[in-house]
């Protein structure tokens, strides 16, 4: 039964990842799959942001970004992302150093629950919400990909579940972002992502 479930999950992972990636991954033990790429959905931003899908007016938009991870050791990794890291910030890229630890796992380590914390730098556009927050103005969505730059520190912390035979990560995290430019301010958001490991 367990074996059948694992095979099913593996097939799902293969469908998500590229053929080459999956073929390579087959040959590795779960802990040896150091690389991971995926998608992250960013939601429940505070302060409210307007970039992305707005489920209803007055709530923060849901946005997302591409993410990647490289596992350096049994407790450290580097992460990167590109997209909208918060619905109230413009297009940005970030990179972070991550420490993680296993909370619980099965013997083959194909099912692992990890806790992690990242410390990173983020650089991107302040975005049109910056002007809405600070100047009470709508300046246009063009400021999503242009305009003043925002340099920020980010300290996400969350929980990651390695599953699907060790091919997939699904994680959820709370992301405090301390923007230093163009103005000092603190933003929070939740993020949930899925990554394919190879």
Partner 1 sequence: MAQTSAFLLLCAGLCACSIDDPNPIPPPGASSPVDRLSQLGIFEGDLGLQTPRNDFFGYEVNVSLYSDGASKVRFVHVPEGSALHATEDRWAVPTGSYLVKTFFYPRDARDPSLGRRLLETRFLVKQTNGYAYSTYVWNDEQTDAVASGGNLDLSVSWIDANGIEHDGDYHVPGLTLCDSCHRGRALGLRNRQMARGEAGAADDQIAQLVAAGVLDEAPEIREPLVDPFGSAPLDDRARSYLDANCAHCHARDGSAASTKLYWAREATDAAGLPRCRSTATVDGRDRVLVPGRPRESEFLARMTSSDPFVRMPRGPSRVPDGAGLAVLSEWVRAMPGGCP
Give the residues lining the site for partner 1 (CB under 8 A): 48, 50, 54, 56-58, 78, 80, 93, 95, 121, 123-125, 128-129, 131-132, 135-140, 142-143, 145-147, 149
Residues with Cβ within 8 Å of 148's Cβ and at least 6 positions away in sequence, in order, are 125, 126, 130, 181, 182
Length of the chain: 198
Cβ distance to partner 1 smaller for residue 149 or 159: 149
Cβ distance to partner 1 smaller for residue 45 or 147: 147
Residue 33 backbone phi and psi in degrees, to 5: -80, 95
Q: How far is the CB of 50 from partner 1 (least distance, A)?
A: 4
| C-alpha torsion angle, residues 91, 140, 129, 54 (rounded to 10) | -80
Q: How far is the CB of 43 from partner 1 (least distance, A)?
A: 17
Spell 62-88 as b/e; 16+ CB within 10 A means b.
bbbbebebebeeeeebebbbebbbbbb
Cβ distance to partner 1 smaller for residue 17 or 124: 124
What sign for the dihedral angle of Cα 44, 47, 53, 54? positive
Is the CB of residue 40 less than 8 Å from the CB of residue 72? no
Cβ distance to partner 1 smaller for residue 103 or 146: 146
Cβ distance to partner 1 smaller for residue 10 or 144: 144
Q: How far is the CB of 29 from partner 1 (least distance, A)?
A: 25
Distance CA 159, CA 180 (A): 27
What sign for the dihedral angle of Cα 141, 144, 145, 148? positive
Cβ distance to partner 1 smaller for residue 10 or 71: 71
Distance CA 144, CA 63 (A): 12
């Amino acid at each position: 039964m367990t074996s059948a479930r694992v095979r099913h999950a593996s097939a799902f992972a293969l469908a998500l990842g590229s053929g080459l990636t999956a073929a390579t991954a087959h040959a590795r033990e779960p802990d040896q799959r150091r690389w991971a790429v995926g998608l992250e959905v960013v939601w429940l931003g505070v302060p409210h942001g307007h970039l992305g899908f707005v489920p209803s007016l007055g709530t923060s938009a849901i946005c997302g970004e591409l993410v990647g991870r490289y596992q350096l050791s049994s407790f450290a990794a580097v992460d990167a992302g590109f997209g909208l890291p918060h619905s109230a910030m413009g297009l940005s890229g970030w990179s972070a150093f991550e420490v993680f630890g296993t909370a619980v796992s099965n013997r083959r380590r194909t099912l692992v629950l990890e806790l992690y914390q990242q410390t990173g730098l983020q650089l991107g556009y302040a975005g049109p919400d910056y002007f809405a927050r600070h100047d009470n103005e709508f300046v246009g969505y063009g400021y999503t990909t242009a305009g003043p730059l925002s340099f920020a520190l980010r300290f996400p912390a969350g929980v990651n579940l390695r599953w699907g035979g060790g091919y997939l990560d699904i994680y959820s995290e709370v992301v405090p972002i301390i923007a230093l430019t163009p103005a000092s301010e603190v933003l929070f958001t939740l993020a949930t992502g899925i990554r394919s490991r190879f």
